[in-house]
Amino acid sequence: MLAAMWEDAPGDQARRAAMLREQLGECRDPRVRAVMASVPRHWFVSAEQRETAYGDGARAIGCGQTISQPRVVAYMLTQLAPQPGERVLDFGAGSGYVSVLLAHLVGPGGWVRALERQGGLVAAAEAVVAHCSSAPETAPIELVWADGVELGSEQYDCIHVACAAPEVPQVLIDALAPGGRMVVPVGVEQQQLRCYRRDRSGQIRIQHLWPVSFVPLLPGTD
């Protein structure tokens, strides 16, 4: 019975193939395309949204949050360029979908910390994240219910941020290891993705990317 939860229903594979063909045609990273083709996106939405999970748009996941549209996910992962063995922070993990994609991309030698401030989302994501991260080809995922603005001293090679603030919190910049990359939406009414890169000397370089629309970064936990 439990195993049946993870089996494809009729049409799931066709919908994933359509997503790859219609939305990820401009994705230039074959590893990102491959992992998004292999991880069932419908596992991370409600049963009522199963047939629309692969469509070109964000999908509600509860608690006023969303899972980003596939083309935005692919673009952010391509800019982030996670490599095998790297340490990753998924800030605002939501459903856990991007956390799982990241775990595949950094492989068994890597590590993913998925932070989410909404306790209801953490509870909903636990089973699917545990199932996905148990595969031998993935990195372990630490799913944490916490206020991410109060990060410790840990540094990361990749930081994926799924919520927008008027300016990037200094705590996130400080968490970026030398040689690391962070992709983050910045702004309020008008938001833009930025890529922060820390070079080996410690200097930060900022690249301005796509206009986007993300939920706001909020302090505390719910």
Measured over all CA atoms, what is the biggest interatomic distance in the chain, rounded to whole angstroms?
A: 53
Token pair 């930025």: residue: 194
Which of 62, 197, 178 shows the shortest CA–CA distance to 123?
62
SS (H, E, C) 69-81: CHHHHHHHHHHHC
124: alpha, beta or left? (left if phi > 0; alpha if psi -120 to 50): alpha
How far apart, in whole angstroms, are the C-alpha atoms of residue 54 and residue 123? Answer: 23
Q: Where are the beta strands (DSSP E) in 17-140?
A: 59-62, 65-67, 87-91, 111-116
Token pair 């545990």: residue: 130
Q: Of 38, 46, 68, 95, which is the active-site residue?
A: 68
Helix (H) or strand (E) holding 128: helix 119-133
DSSP category for residue 31: H
Q: Please say if 133 is a catalytic residue.
A: no
Q: Report the catalytic residues.
A: 68
